[in-house]
Copies of this chain bind each other. A is one copy, B any other.
Amino acid sequence: MLDISAPRGFPTREFEHRLEKAQYLMRSHGLDGILLTSEAELRYFSGFMTQFWQSPTRPWFMFLPLEGKPVAVIPEIGRDLMSRTWLDDIRTWSSPEPEDDGISLLHELLSLYAQQRCTIGIMKGAETSLRMPLADYEHLMTRLPGLNLVDATPIIKTLRMTKSEAEIEKIGHICAIASLSFAQAHNLFSEGQSLQEAFRAFKVEILKQGADDIPYLVGGAGKGGYRDVISPPTEQPLQSGDILMLDTGSVFDGYYCDFDRNFAINSADDDARATYETLYRATEAGLNAARPGTSCKDLFCAMQSIIDTQESERGNVGRLGHGLGMQLTEWPSHAMFDDTILQENMVITLEPSMSYGEGKVMVHEENLVVRDGPPLLLSTRAPAELPVIG
């Protein structure tokens, strides 16, 4: 059992740095403020953390001004928790109130900006969504006709892609917890057990190892291989010759790991073994390519060139890894479309996958932080050969 007393929260200077960087970028992009509506962003700038976001009922807002601390515009039910953060200006209303769910408060906050024809950023780019009713958003913007709305995604993305040491420590901690849990595979999984039981056993194990939550556990099993990589478990019993894969996004103090492991039940056929070995080599190629200055596109190519030597028909999951942190998947993407240049302290996954046989697919995944020199693995490296259970 891990020591589960790894530090929680962040010192105030962490939030001060994040805000300073945001305000610097706002100035250089000509923005007078940023309006945020999403969980990860509100937490990023305040430390406000609650599972209450699971309830879709209430919207939550934060405004980053060009100078001074963020302003929280939130339901009254969150006042006590928000007042424990470093923020001073917390404006609340009794929510839910469908006729005016924070819109008057936002209008009051933004109307001076609108009168002065200021430029305000909102997140509207790739991998974002507007976490408030669209009709409320449209209504608010109609009432603020002078406002020049621009996309704040590039600024937030730049900030969030590179992690602080305190963030890396949290991601490293949950990666260690998941690694220790996967290391118990031979005690957790066995022939005859249903996939549902296998998943349940893994969830209990990872909680006992110190994870706070397991928001994501998907996978599959099948004779010689599985056929998709996003399914919930079924009642299907594990059988001899199955390849079992579990992919977990577990959380410690609001930060995710995201990696999978493959196991053969009793024995593995040559095809599965060979596919595993190719993906292991593709991951090695990724580890060798993941250096500051490399583009995500080049990182993709380094992995894909190994896979291409073995794969008859290229799979179509769209990318071979991504950023990792407060969300299960974050910018950037290791894909042909992404020219993002890797920088020190970006936390990423390497996730080569390939199709084989008739409709089977296999995925490998590791989590690492880009450093000056070789990357630091946060997940314990998967074994070089497909592990056999039983």
B96 engages A319 (CB within 8 Å): yes
Q: Say if the beta carbon of A142 comes within 8 Å of chain B.
A: no
A57 engages B134 (CB within 8 Å): no
* Interface bits A101-118 vs B (CB < 8 Å: 1, else 0): 100000000000000000
User: Which residue of B54, B135, B318 is within 8 Å of A216 (Cβ)?
Assistant: B54
Docked CA distance A127–B124 (Å)? 19
Q: Per DSSP, are chain A's interface residues mostly helix, strand or loop, or mixed?
A: loop
A232 engages B51 (CB within 8 Å): yes
User: Chain B contacts of A266 at CB under 8 A?
Assistant: none
Q: Say if the beta carbon of A78 comes within 8 Å of chain B.
A: yes
A317 engages B50 (CB within 8 Å): no
A322 engages B57 (CB within 8 Å): yes
User: Chain B contacts of A208 at CB under 8 A?
Assistant: 200, 204
Q: Which of A287-345 contact B (CB under 8 A)?
A: 316-319, 322, 327-329, 333, 335, 337
User: Chain B contacts of A94 at CB under 8 A?
Assistant: 316-318
User: Which residue of B214, B215, B231, B335 is within 8 Å of A50 (Cβ)?
Assistant: B231
Docked CA distance A133–B319 (Å)? 19
Docked CA distance A249–B231 (Å)? 21
B129 engages A56 (CB within 8 Å): yes
Docked CA distance A128–B231 (Å)? 25
- The distance from the CB of A328 to the nearest CB of chain B, in whole angstroms, is 5
Q: Say if the beta carbon of A10 comes within 8 Å of chain B.
A: no
Interface size class of A (residues with CB under 8 A): 35 or more
User: Which residue of B4, B126, B129, B138 is within 8 Å of A96 (Cβ)?
Assistant: B126
User: Which residue of B54, B95, B129, B138 is within 8 Å of A328 (Cβ)?
Assistant: B54
Stretch at the interface among A180-188, A222-230, A276-284, A379-387: A222-230
Q: Say if the beta carbon of A388 comes within 8 Å of chain B.
A: no
User: Chain B contacts of A337 at CB under 8 A?
Assistant: 96-99
Q: Which of A199-242 contact B (CB under 8 A)?
A: 200, 203-204, 207-208, 212-218, 227-232, 235
Q: Which of A144-177 contact B (CB under 8 A)?
A: 151
User: Chain B contacts of A125 at CB under 8 A?
Assistant: 98, 133, 135
Q: Say if the beta carbon of A80 comes within 8 Å of chain B.
A: yes
Q: Say if the beta carbon of A77 comes within 8 Å of chain B.
A: yes
A333 engages B96 (CB within 8 Å): yes
A76 engages B128 (CB within 8 Å): no
- The distance from the CB of A300 to the nearest CB of chain B, in whole angstroms, is 12
Given A55-B328, A204-B207: A228 in contact with B80 (beta carbons within 8 A): yes
Given A80-B228, A81-B230, A99-B337: A129 in contact with B132 (beta carbons within 8 A): yes
A134 engages B127 (CB within 8 Å): no
Given A51-B215, A81-B228, A333-B96: A129 in contact with B131 (beta carbons within 8 A): yes
Q: Say if the beta carbon of A122 comes within 8 Å of chain B.
A: yes
B135 engages A229 (CB within 8 Å): no
- The distance from the CB of A183 to the nearest CB of chain B, in whole angstroms, is 19
Q: Say if the beta carbon of A2 comes within 8 Å of chain B.
A: no
Docked CA distance A94–B124 (Å)? 21
Given A57-B329, A204-B204, A333-B57: A216 in contact with B51 (beta carbons within 8 A): yes
Beyond known contacts A129-B131, A213-B214: 8 more, CB 8 A cutoff = A49-B232, A96-B333, A97-B337, A98-B337, A124-B135, A127-B133, A135-B151, A200-B208
Can you list 18 A-B contacts with CB-CB less than 8 angstroms, sorted by A residue number?
Answer: A51-B232, A52-B230, A54-B328, A56-B129, A57-B126, A57-B333, A76-B317, A77-B317, A81-B231, A98-B125, A124-B133, A125-B135, A129-B129, A196-B212, A200-B207, A200-B208, A203-B207, A215-B215
Return the 3 tightest CB-CB contacts between A and B, nearest first: A124-B134, A80-B228, A98-B126
